[in-house]
């Protein structure tokens, strides 16, 4: 039944374009389907969702839902399997690469892949209405236009995203470009990538997924899809540490070695214009954090802790996220330049609604669930304020009158945080190009975004994945 309606949707799209070429600009987006031939694509990958067992705890294996990748065209850097990990392979490409990926669903429920943070056309964006059932596949063809950065992929079927991600479905999508390469940031063994997730397990070894109004949490931290290592051995010298908070709902209050400074060099959408020193910060699901840490400040043998402080001072526990141990001399030292990248600040006056930003109130649904402006997810409808003229720049203001944090994510282009009025808790990651912005209780946050790359229907939602599944997601349509 759902399959049929999906086909209906696609057919309407195709008929719409051929029949109404110049008439209906809303169908122009259908032209964005590229269908690269094998020869035209730089990278061709097959990504299959399967169930697979991994031994994580003790003796009972855990069944995960995993992405398995096969590189059909490209170089070996394009696809890296993480040994022993339940995560999907890390995909790495260069800006400008033409990518062709076939997603094959061998699970017993519908799924679809979303390339989080990549600016792609709506057919390539993993909108829930494109979800495919068991035995079906979905074809992605897109050119990577994003700047260098750590992006990622995960499922996006409506109502099941939280569950499927918790079962293991996620992977990194790293983009490289010349601007980043020219900086010569620590690389090779001195570039460490961390996907941090939390999971609970039942006694029989299986995952224990417990969604609630607060989200789903886990009692153990997993790093890169394996049990968190006791210590990570590093050498004295500089390292580039790149993080994805891959948790469904957990927010960290990050602190380094009891108060040492982080030197942030990048954010969701790649490099900052200049490095930014941070003592601590809130770190929400789906946000990326890229920093350079100089371990030569410490002595051989010393252990340096990356910790999460209580979210609110005096309430809750402090716990260790990662422990680094200095085992030796030998890593090169890197002095972070004052200027990192060309970075264009979007001017407020560019927004068509600069005088009256659109307001999005993050509120619970009567009974249970979550909404944006009192509305839950509807697969094919829009309010007036959710229709956007192609080419426009807009300011959106998220207001959170609730007691729960909401990391808000908008698909499509990266945006910038214009202004934040904090309720009570300060220290969110607002710098640089962003695709997720953490809206703490009582906060009002304005973001500015250009809708100038693709027409079509996209979504915005809370990236607390249980909130998303509980309907805290809406369409917007660029026409
Ligand atoms: Cu990372 Cu719409 O999601
Ligand atoms: Cu996304
Ligand atoms: Cu939320």
At 285-320, the pLDDT tens digits run 999 999 999 999 999 999 999 999 999 988 888 999
pLDDT for position 225: 98
The pLDDT value recorded for residue 18 is: 33
Percent of the residues in the chain that have a pLDDT greater than 90, as a whole number: 88
Q: With 70 as the cut, is the pLDDT of residue 23 above it?
A: no
User: What's the mean pLDDT when you consider all of the chain?
Assistant: 92
Q: Which protein residues have a CB closer than 5 Å to ligand 2 (ion)?
A: 116
Say if residue 24's pLDDT is above 70: no
Mean pLDDT value of segment 393-407:
97
Check residue 17 and give its pLDDT.
34
What sign results for the dihedral spanned by CA atoms 211, 242, 396, 459?
Answer: negative
Q: Which residue has the higher pLDDT, 98 or 56?
A: 98
Mean pLDDT of the region 252-271: 97
pLDDT at 149 over 90: yes
Q: Where are the alpha helices (DSSP H) in 70-200?
A: 161-166, 178-183
Assign 57 a pLDDT band (cuts: 50, 70, 90).
confident
H helix or E strand, kind and range, residue 16:
helix 2-19
Mean pLDDT of 2-27: 33
> Residues 169-198: what's their mean pLDDT?
98
DSSP string, 216-277: ---SEEEETTEEPPS-EEEESSEEEEEEEE--SS--EEEEETTTBPEEEEEETTEEEEEEEE
Whole-number pLDDT of residue 3: 35
Task: Give residue-wise pLDDT tens across range 340-377.
Answer: 999 899 999 999 999 999 999 999 998 889 999 999 99
| Closest ligand, as measured to the CA of 158 | 1
Tokens of 428: 């969110």
Q: What is the mean pLDDT of residues 196-225?
A: 97
Q: What is the pLDDT of residue 31?
A: 55
pLDDT at 32: 67
The pLDDT of residue 19: 32
What pLDDT, on a 0 to 100 scale, did the predictor assign at position 27? Answer: 35
Residue 176 CB-density burial (10 A; 0-12 exposed, 13-18 middle, 19+ buried): middle
d(CA 231, CA 305): 9
Residues 6+ apart with CB under 8 A from 225: 82, 84, 85, 86, 87, 168, 195, 197
In the structure, what pLDDT confidence band is assigned to residue 452 with cuts at 50, 70 and 90?
A: very high
Average pLDDT over residues 61-86: 97
Q: What distance in angstroms lies between residue 436's CA and the mean position of ligand 3's atoms? A: 12
How far is 437 from 422, CA to CA, in rounded Å? 13
Asked if pLDDT for residue 62 goes beyond 60, the answer is yes
State the average pLDDT over residues 416-430. 96
Higher pLDDT, 316 or 100: 100
- Indicate which residue's Cα is closest to atom 1 of ligand 1: 116
How far apart are alpha carbons 88 and 71 in whole angstroms?
13
Q: Residue 357 C-alpha to ligand 2 middle, in angstroms?
A: 22
- Over residues 252-276, the mean pLDDT reads 97
Residue 22 has pLDDT above 50, yes or no: no
> Ligand 3 center to residue 375 CA distance, Å?
13
Pocket (CB within 6 angstroms of ligand 1): 114, 116, 154, 156, 286, 409, 411, 459, 461, 463
Q: What percent of the chain has pLDDT over 70?
A: 93
Tokens (6 digits) for 64: 């995960």
From the list 164, 79, 159, the residue with the least C-alpha distance to 113 is: 164
Length of the chain: 479
Ligand nearest to the CA of 402: 3
What is the distance in A from the centroid of ligand 3 to the CA of 250?
A: 11
d(CA 261, CA 157): 39
Name the band, by pLDDT with cuts 50, 70 and 90, for residue 86.
very high
150: helix, coil or strand?
A: strand
**H-type helices in 103-221, by residue range?**
161-166, 178-183
Nearby residues of 77 by Cβ (< 8 Å), 6 or more positions away:
92
Is the pLDDT confidence value at 28 over 80? no
pLDDT of residue 8: 32
Across residues 24-34, what is the average pLDDT?
51
Q: Which residue has the higher pLDDT, 330 or 451?
A: 451
**For residue 20, is pLDDT > 80?**
no
**Which helix (H) or strand (E) is 19 found in, with range?**
helix 2-19
Residue with structure tokens 């619970």? Answer: 364
- Among 14-18, 125-129, 154-158, 209-213, the minimum mean pLDDT is found in 14-18
CA of 460, closest atom in ligand 1: 2
| Per-residue pLDDT tens over the stretch 123-134 | 999 999 999 999
């Amino acid at each position: 039944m759902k399959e049929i309606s999906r086909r209906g949707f696609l057919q309407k799209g195709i008929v719409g374009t051929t029949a109404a070429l110049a008439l209906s600009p809303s169908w122009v987006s259908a032209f964005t389907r590229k269908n690269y031939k094998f020869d035209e694509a730089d990278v061709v990958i097959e990504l299959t969702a399967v169930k697979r067992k991994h031994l994580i705890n003790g003796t009972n294996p855990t069944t995960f839902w995993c992405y398995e990748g096969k590189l059909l065209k490209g170089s070996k850097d394009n696809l890296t399997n993480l040994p022993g990990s339940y995560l999907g392979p890390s995909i790495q490409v260069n800006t400008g690469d033409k990518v062709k990926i076939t997603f094959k669903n061998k699970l017993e429920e519908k799924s679809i892949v979303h390339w989080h943070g990549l600016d792609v056309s709506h057919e390539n964006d993993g909108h829930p209405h494109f979800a495919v059932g068991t035995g079906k596949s979905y074809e992605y063809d897109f050119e990577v236009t994003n700047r260098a950065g750590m992006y990622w992929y995960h499922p996006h079927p409506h109502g099941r995203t939280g569950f499927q991600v918790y079962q293991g479905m996620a992977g990194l999508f790293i983009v490289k470009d010349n601007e980043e390469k020219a900086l010569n940031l620590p690389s090779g063994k001195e570039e460490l990538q961390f996907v941090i997730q939390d999971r609970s397990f039942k006694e029989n070894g299986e995952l224990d997924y417990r969604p609630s109004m607060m989200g789903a949490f886990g009692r153990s931290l997993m790093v890169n899809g394996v049990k968190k290592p006791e210590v990570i051995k590093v050498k004295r010298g500089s390292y580039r540490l790149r993080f994805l908070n891959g948790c469904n709902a957990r927010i960290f209050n990050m602190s380094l070695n009891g108060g040492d400074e982080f030197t942030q060099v990048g954010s969701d959408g790649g490099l900052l214009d200049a490095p930014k020193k941070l003592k601590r910060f809130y770190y929400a699901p789906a946000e990326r954090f890229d920093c350079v840490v100089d371990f030569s400040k410490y002595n051989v043998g010393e252990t340096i802790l990356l910790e999460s402080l209580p979210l609110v001072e005096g309430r809750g526990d402090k716990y260790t996220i990662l422990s680094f141990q200095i085992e030796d001399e030998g890593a090169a030292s890197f002095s972070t330049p004052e200027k990192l990248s060309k970075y264009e600040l979007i001017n407020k006056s560019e927004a068509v609604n600069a005088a009256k930003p659109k307001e999005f109130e993050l509120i619970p649904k009567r009974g249970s669930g979550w909404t944006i402006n009192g509305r839950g997810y509807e697969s094919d409808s829009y309010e007036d304020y959710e229709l956007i003229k192609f080419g426009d720049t807009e300011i959106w203001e998220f207001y959170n009158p609730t007691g729960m944090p909401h990391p808000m994510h908008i698909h499509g282009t990266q945006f910038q945080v214009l202004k934040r009025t904090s309720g009570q808790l300060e220290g969110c990651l607002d710098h640089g190009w962003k695709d997720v912005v953490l809206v703490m209780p009582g906060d009002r946050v304005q973001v500015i975004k250009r809708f100038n790359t693709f027409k079509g229907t996209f979504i915005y939602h809370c990236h607390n994945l249980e909130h998303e599944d509980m309907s805290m997601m809406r369409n917007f349509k660029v026409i």
